[in-house]
């Protein structure tokens, strides 16, 4: 895997360190476990679905801090008496991180049939939303008569 050095781009910028972090995290994201989907479920609603077969609600922790959503799964101890002929279901611990945009918050999570669903919504403050300003019509000013 090639490593890309983006430091020259950030030498003359201020306040873009979060962009550098996002690019760094994206370049290291080569682990595909557990697989996940990100879907748009509404105008400002999203859902992350992760395949976490074998994990229960007690094995998974979801944390949000600033713009980082972190999902951690702790694997259970294996039964030493189990004898597998084929082992295709991964049961290892994991940590998956997602960068979320400003004003996106987690509204809930559920675990159904081995799929972890995390619902998110973007709530832009009223003061930052686009609004149209109505222009009022005013009567023309009366002309002054010079004497």
Render pLDDT for 111-123 as a digit per residue (tens, 0 to 9).
Answer: 999 999 999 999 8
Other C-beta atoms closer than 10 Å to the C-beta of 127 total: 6
Assessment of whether the complete model's pTM goes beyond 0.75: no
What is the structure's pLDDT at 14?
59
What is the pLDDT confidence band of residue 69, given thresholds at 50, 70 and 90? very high
- Digit-coded pLDDT (tens) for 19-40: 666 666 665 555 678 999 999 9
Buried residues in 8-41 as b, exposed as e (16+ CB within 10 A): eeeeeeeeeeeeeeeeeeeeeeeeeebebeeeee
> In residues, how long is the chain?
147
C-alpha span between 39 and 119 (Å, rounded): 10
**Architecture in CATH of 34-77+89-126:** Sandwich (2.60)
Tokens of 117: 């669903």
What is the structure's pLDDT at 84?
84
H helical segments located in 4-128: 17-28
Domain boundaries along the sequence of the chain: 1-30, 34-77+89-126
Asked whether the predicted pLDDT for residue 45 surpasses 80, the reply is yes
Other C-beta atoms closer than 10 Å to the C-beta of 73 total: 21
C-alpha span between 122 and 133 (Å, rounded): 24
């Amino acid at each position: 895997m090639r490593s890309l050095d983006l430091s020259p781009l950030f030498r003359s910028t201020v306040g873009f360190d979060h962009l550098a972090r996002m690019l760094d995290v994206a370049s290291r994201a080569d682990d595909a476990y557990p697989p996940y989907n990100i879907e748009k479920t509404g105008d400002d609603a999203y859902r992350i679905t992760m395949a976490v077969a074998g994990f229960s609600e007690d094995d998974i922790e979801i944390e949000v801090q600033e713009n980082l959503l972190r999902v951690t799964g702790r694997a259970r101890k294996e039964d030493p008496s189990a004898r597998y002929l084929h082992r295709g279901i991964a049961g290892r611990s994991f940590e998956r991180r997602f960068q979320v945009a400003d004003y996106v918050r987690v509204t809930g999570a559920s675990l159904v049939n081995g799929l972890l669903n995390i619902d998110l919504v973007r709530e832009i403050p009223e003061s930052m939303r686009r609004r149209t300003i109505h222009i009022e019509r005013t009567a023309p000013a009366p002309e002054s008569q010079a004497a």
